[in-house]
Chains A and B, each alone.
Chain A
Amino acid sequence: MTVPAEHARRILVVEDDPHLAAGVVENLRAEGYEVAAVADGRRALEWLQGGSCGLVVLDVMLPEVDGFTVCRTLRERGDNTPVLFLTARGDPADRVRGLEAGGDDYLAKPFHLRELLLRVRAILRRWEWYQSASAADGAVLRFGGNEVDFRAFRARSWNGGAQELTEKEAMILKVLAERPGEIVSREDLLERVWGYDVFPSTRTVDNFILRLRKRFERDPANPRHFLTVWGVGYRFMTEGES
């Protein structure tokens, strides 16, 4: 799902505590964002069905439908709008749950205002980069009989199979495709796609590369497009390496 350019700086705040919601909304507005707010998960899903935004700031413990379910439902709908979880539950297991539900970042309450604003800015910047890089001539990538549509998050693999890409898979592919033939380090991929310290290790990147190989390599065990450069990172070859 592509967010219209005029909505890229629009943020939906989903928080049931009125004081906290008011504080977040006021500060985001002061930063120049267009902000809408709802107080429960059901209304958030309704709002997102009718409108679009560049980011959802989502509380986890919400009335009606909890934040994890909201995020999961969005992803199932094919809505890749970035989600920043804002929650009182800050233990690692909950962070992982949030990210598994399709969240992009996770901020535990109580949080620092500057950190919130920084994370919001970083997520929107990454998203804006992806949107602009996927516009016009960069919208479609063809390699080795595969065809990837970055704007629709869809692809057709070499054997004709239809593929639905997750937001992270598409972003990793985009970063690699921007620098064909060059070595891209795992840290670079983490920084460009996730930013900050959301994930504990670079192993996450490896797992995503494995998923991309399964989707697009004829023989994932002997990749020709997504090549590992041992100890450094990855190299993407559009033509394929024999």
Chain B
Amino acid sequence: MKAPRLFQLTALALVLVSAVEVGWWLLDQHRFAVDKVREMHEVYAQQVGAAQALLDAGTSAARVHVLLPDVIVTNKQATLSPDVDRQLLAEEHRHIAQYVWEGSFFIIALAACIAVIARALRAEARVIQEQESFLALVSHQFKTPLASLQLSLETMAMRPLSPEHLRALIDRMLADLARMVSMVTQILESMRLERGRIDLRSEPVDLEGAVARVAAGCAERAAKDRIAVSADIEPGLQVMADPLALDVILRNLLENALAAVAPVGGGNIVFTGRRARGEVELSVRDSGIGFRPGDAARLFQKFTRLHPGGGGSHFGTGLGLYIVKRLMQLAGGRVSAQSAGVGQGSTFVLTWPMGEPHPSASPDPSESIGPLSRQPAPREHS
């Protein structure tokens, strides 16, 4: 067991023992107060008995009162002064009230300590579990390209190959390496996004231009896979965003759409931008393999890769759409996904609030690690 956890558990045990001790002290003090009052009652009862004996022996009432001032005599009958009775009762109540207040304070303070420590322990256990599952998922994601790389290298070492086959293997290995580099970048970015440690600016960005830039970057691949990418965006439509983050968001969505359309032998991807209800909305609609409607929310979780249509190629890290969601959240926007079902295509909708520019989403630049990188995005589909 790690030292901090041992310390926390020891502290929790000590606090628990202290709480029990305080409870015991409270009961003990209550019992003590009650006993003390009862003893006082007995002492006073003895005084009343003595006074009565003196009266019976012929001592005057005045003399008895001098000797025993807490006793009053009425018609030769000795009784305890009602003031004394009231004082005893008041004393008992005062002590008990004091113990209850003090005890309650300590018990509440200790209960708060227990809650804080237990919460910290639970949070730590959850973090450890998340880290372990994250590591397991990351290592799993890396094993496939590593296996492919190893297989290509061992094939080269083991077999005499034609120059064409050799070239194909080298291309395959370079693609596997690029895939791993992309995965490392995306994993690091997703971790930074998770901690909110990213320097995002907020400035007006022309949406049409941003879409055109990203589409141009993927034009070659789209043409190769017979996919038509088009845009219908209101002229002059702007969003308040970090230009680099917007580039990453659009690239991820376009790569995702390309990966969804390629397995069905080509099709189209349409960007549509408009103002709606005081917001800016950009939808990315594809004619690809789609997904089951129930899987819409899962798409944006880390390491989710749906394979609704059984596409023939997927190199995604399962992080692209998670990054899109986090970047949109940090920009004050949101993203959603819809599909009528497998084989029915899909639509991803980005929504930004329309607002005034402000200098930076992260006021203290020292808190941030740096800007996002312009890495090629993964493909979540296929």
Question: Residues of A with Cβ closer than 8 Å to B?
Answer: 16-20, 22-24, 26-27, 30, 39-40, 42-43, 61-64, 88-89, 108-114
| Residue B274 at the chain A interface, CB threshold 8 Å | no
Inter-chain contacts of B2 with A (CB < 8 A): none
Instruction: Flag the segment in B86-94, B143-151, B217-225, B230-238 that touches A.
Output: B143-151
Query: Is A17's CB under 8 angstroms from B310's CB?
Result: no
Having A23-B148, A112-B150, one finds 20 other A-B pairs with CB under 8 Å, namely A16-B307, A18-B312, A19-B172, A19-B175, A20-B147, A22-B172, A24-B151, A27-B151, A39-B312, A42-B310, A63-B307, A63-B311, A63-B382, A64-B310, A88-B144, A108-B143, A109-B146, A109-B147, A110-B149, A113-B150
A-B contact pairs, 13 of them (CB 8 A): A16-B310, A19-B176, A20-B147, A23-B172, A39-B312, A63-B307, A64-B307, A64-B310, A88-B144, A110-B147, A111-B150, A113-B151, A113-B158
Inter-chain contacts of B147 with A (CB < 8 A): 20, 88, 109-111
Query: Is A18's CB under 8 angstroms from B151's CB?
Result: no
| Residue B195 at the chain A interface, CB threshold 8 Å | no
Question: Residues of B with Cβ closer than 8 Å to A?
Answer: 139-140, 143-152, 154-155, 158-159, 165, 172, 175-176, 307-308, 310-314, 382
Chain A residue at minimal CB-CB distance from B146 = A110
Chain A residue at minimal CB-CB distance from B157 = A113
Total A-B Cβ pairs within 8 A: 77
Inter-chain contacts of A19 with B (CB < 8 A): 145, 148, 152, 172, 175-176
Query: Is B154's CB under 8 angstroms from A113's CB?
Result: yes
Do most interface residues of chain B lie in helix, strand or loop, or is the interface mixed?
helix
A239, chain B: closest CB distance, angstroms: 52
Give CA–CA (A40, B306) in the complex, Å. Answer: 12
Inter-chain contacts of A88 with B (CB < 8 A): 139-140, 143-144, 147
Give CA–CA (A30, B155) in the complex, Å. Answer: 10
Give CA–CA (A24, B310) in the complex, Å. Answer: 19
Inter-chain contacts of A108 with B (CB < 8 A): 143
Query: Is A40's CB under 8 angstroms from B307's CB?
Result: yes
Chain B residue at minimal CB-CB distance from A110 = B147
Give CA–CA (A220, B2) in the complex, Å. Answer: 52
Query: Is B154's CB under 8 angstroms from A89's CB?
Result: no
Inter-chain contacts of B158 with A (CB < 8 A): 113-114
Inter-chain contacts of B145 with A (CB < 8 A): 17, 19
Query: Is A43's CB under 8 angstroms from B310's CB?
Result: yes
Query: Is A109's CB under 8 angstroms from B154's CB?
Result: no
Give CA–CA (A48, B250) in the complex, Å. Answer: 41
Query: Is A17's CB under 8 angstroms from B148's CB?
Result: yes
A158, chain B: closest CB distance, angstroms: 48
8 Å CB contact of A30 from B148, B159, B310:
B159
Most chain B CB within a 10 A radius of its CB, from A26, A40, A43, A114: A26
Give CA–CA (A111, B150) in the complex, Å. Answer: 8
Most chain B CB within a 10 A radius of its CB, from A22, A24, A64, A113: A113
Inter-chain contacts of B314 with A (CB < 8 A): 16-17
Query: Is A23's CB under 8 angstroms from B307's CB?
Result: no
Query: Is A40's CB under 8 angstroms from B310's CB?
Result: yes
Inter-chain contacts of A89 with B (CB < 8 A): 140
Inter-chain contacts of B151 with A (CB < 8 A): 20, 23-24, 27, 110-111, 113
Inter-chain contacts of B313 with A (CB < 8 A): 18
Chain B residue at minimal CB-CB distance from A24 = B151
A226, chain B: closest CB distance, angstroms: 42
Inter-chain contacts of B307 with A (CB < 8 A): 16, 40, 62-64
Chain A residue at minimal CB-CB distance from B144 = A17
Give CA–CA (A219, B310) in the complex, Å. Answer: 51
Chain A residue at minimal CB-CB distance from B139 = A88
Give CA–CA (A42, B308) in the complex, Å. Answer: 11
Query: Is A23's CB under 8 angstroms from B140's CB?
Result: no
Chain A residue at minimal CB-CB distance from B306 = A63
Chain B residue at minimal CB-CB distance from A26 = B155
Give CA–CA (A74, B5) in the complex, Å. Answer: 48
B123, chain A: closest CB distance, angstroms: 27
Chain B residue at minimal CB-CB distance from A116 = B151
Query: Is A112's CB under 8 angstroms from B154's CB?
Result: yes
Give CA–CA (A78, B375) in the complex, Å. Answer: 49
